[in-house]
Amino acid sequence: MTPHQILQQYWGYSQFRPLQEDIIQSVLSGKDTLALLPTGGGKSVCFQVPALALDGVCLVVTPLIALMKDQVHNLKKRNIPAEAVYSGMNMFEVERAFDNCMHGKTKFLYLSPERLGTKLFLARLPNLQVSIVAIDEAHCISQWGYDFRPAYLKIAQIRTQLPHTPFLALTATATARVKADIQEKLKFGKNAAVFQKSFTRANLSYSVLREENKIQKLTTIFKNIPGCGIVYVRSRKETAQIAEALKKQGILADFYHAGLDPRTRSQKQDAWIKDKIRIMACTNAFGMGIDKPDVRTVVHLDLPESVEAYYQEAGRAGRDEQKAYAVLLFNNEDIGALQEQFERNFPPIATVRKVYHLLGNFFQVAIGAGEGQSFDFDMNKFLETNPMPAPDLFYALKVLEENNYLQATDAVFLPSRVMVRVTNEQLYDVQLRNPRLEPYIKVLLRSYGGVFDQHTEIYENILAKNLKTTTQYVQNALTVLHKNQVIDYIPQTDKPQLIFTQPRAAAEALVFDVKLINFRKKVRQDNIQAVIAYAQNNLLCRSRQLVAYFGELDSLPCGVCDVCLQQKKLQLAESRMERISAAIKKQLRTNAHSSHELVAQLTDFNEDEIIKVLRWLTDNHQILFKDGTFRLNQ
The answer to whether residue 552 scores a pLDDT higher than 70 is: yes
The answer to whether residue 64 scores a pLDDT higher than 90 is: no
Instruction: Look up residue 78 and give its DSSP letter.
Output: T
Q: Does CATH number 1.10.10.10 belong to domain 539-632?
A: yes
d(CA 254, CA 239): 8
Q: What is the pLDDT of residues 117-132, one digit of tens each?
A: 888 898 899 999 999 9
Q: The whole model's pTM is what?
A: 0.79
d(CA 22, CA 20): 6
Lowest mean pLDDT among 218-222, 372-376, 421-425, 432-436: 372-376
The answer to whether residue 288 scores a pLDDT higher than 80 is: no
Nearest to 312 by CA among 134, 546, 135: 546
* Cross-strand pairs, 631: 624
Taking residues 406-433, what's their average pLDDT? Answer: 85
Q: Provide the pLDDT confidence category of residue 491 given band limits of 50, 70 and 90.
A: confident
Computed from CA positions of residues 497, 501, 504, 505, in that sequence, does the dihedral angle turn out positive or negative?
negative
The answer to whether residue 195 scores a pLDDT higher than 90 is: yes
Quickly count: other Cβ atoms within 10 Å of residue 171's Cβ.
25
Q: Write down the mean pLDDT value for the chain.
A: 90
The answer to whether residue 538 scores a pLDDT higher than 90 is: no
The answer to whether residue 290 scores a pLDDT higher than 70 is: yes
pLDDT value for 496: 80
Instruction: Look up residue 493 and give its DSSP letter.
Output: B
DSSP 435-488: TTTHHHHHHHHHH-TTTTTS-EEE-HHHHHHHHTS-HHHHHHHHHHHHHTTSEE
Q: What is the pLDDT of residues 92-148, one digit of tens each?
A: 888 888 988 988 789 999 998 888 888 889 889 999 999 999 999 999 999 898 888
Taking residues 498-515, what's their average pLDDT? Answer: 91
Residues 6+ apart with CB under 8 A from 98: 85, 109, 120, 121, 124, 128
Question: First vs last Cα of the chain: how many Å apart?
Answer: 65
The answer to whether residue 183 scores a pLDDT higher than 90 is: yes
d(CA 634, CA 632): 6
pLDDT value for 289: 67
Residues 6+ apart with CB under 8 A from 255: 239, 240, 242, 243, 268, 280, 281, 282
Which fold, 204-330? Rossmann fold (3.40.50)
Same fold, 3-196 and 539-632: no
CB-neighbour burial class of residue 291 (10 A; exposed 0-12, middle 13-18, buried 19+): exposed
Contact 83, 60 (CB under 8 A): no
The CB-side HSE value for 111 (13 A sphere, CA atoms) comes to 27
Q: Which CATH superfamily groups domain 3-196?
A: P-loop containing nucleotide triphosphate hydrolases (3.40.50.300)
DSSP 79-139: T--EEEE-TT--HHHHHHHHHHHHHS---EEEE-GGGGGSHHHHHHGGGS-EEEEEESSGG
CB-neighbour burial class of residue 138 (10 A; exposed 0-12, middle 13-18, buried 19+): buried
pLDDT value for 274: 94
- Domain ranges in the chain are 3-196, 204-330, 341-412+504-522, 416-490, 539-632
